[in-house]
Amino acid sequence: MTRIRRLFSALLRYWKITAPATVVVIGAAVAVIVATTDPEPAAVAYANVSRNFRACMLATTNDTPEANRVWPAIQAAAARAPINAERVTAPTGTSDQLVPYVNSLVALHCGVIITAGPELAAPVAAVAKTHPGQRFLAAGQPPTAANIRPLPSRPEDLTTALITTAQHGNPAH
């Protein structure tokens, strides 16, 4: 405590030196801040992704291996084209229990709904009949409607198919 008291008494005693020195230090700090600050902030670039093509993948908890094979291909397409990729995992259930999950993706205006796994074959077939304008890519099932296509076996082919589909627009919007 006595050291601090001695320091302040020295500053008060030599105020003619410490006051101008303090002003110089504060002035230098302000000059550095002003010199390093941009006079105009950079313009913010906005990207409206709401009108991008939407590719939605639906899988159940039992379809993890197939979903893990398909999802990177969807992400690769999204990186190369204006595509919003959505992934939904539904709990394992009966066909009637899975239909609302497929319908929710239709309601999200997905340009294409990609299903991973055989558990979704019946729900997709049911929804495809009631939504003929919705496109589906289904894994492990033969197409049962004109708007259901088989999922390409190679991830690269899926990526290419998604980019091509996205370039042709989104009929769901």
Within the chain, where are the H helices? 2-13, 15-36, 64-80, 95-107, 121-130, 155-167
Spatial distance between the Cα atoms of 70 and 53, rounded to a whole number of angstroms: 18
Tokens linked to 24: 């110089």
Q: Residue 109: is its pLDDT beyond 50?
A: yes
- The Cβ-side half-sphere exposure at 121, using a 13 Å CA radius, reads 11
Q: What angle, rounded to 10 degrees, do the helices at 121-130 and 95-107 form?
A: 50
Model-wide pTM > 0.85: no
How do strand 112-116 and strand 148-150 relate by DSSP bridges? Answer: unpaired
Question: In Å, what is the CA distance from 10 to each residue of 2, 13, 18?
Answer: 12, 5, 10
pLDDT tens, position by position, 112-131: 999 988 889 899 999 999 99
Q: How many other C-beta atoms lie within 10 A of the C-beta of residue 27?
A: 10
Neighbours of 106 (CB within 10 A): 18
Q: What percent of the chain has pLDDT over 90?
A: 39
Distance CA 106, CA 125 (A): 13
pLDDT one-digit tens code per residue, 56-95: 999 998 877 888 889 999 999 999 999 999 999 999 889 9
Strand, coil or helix: what is 116? strand
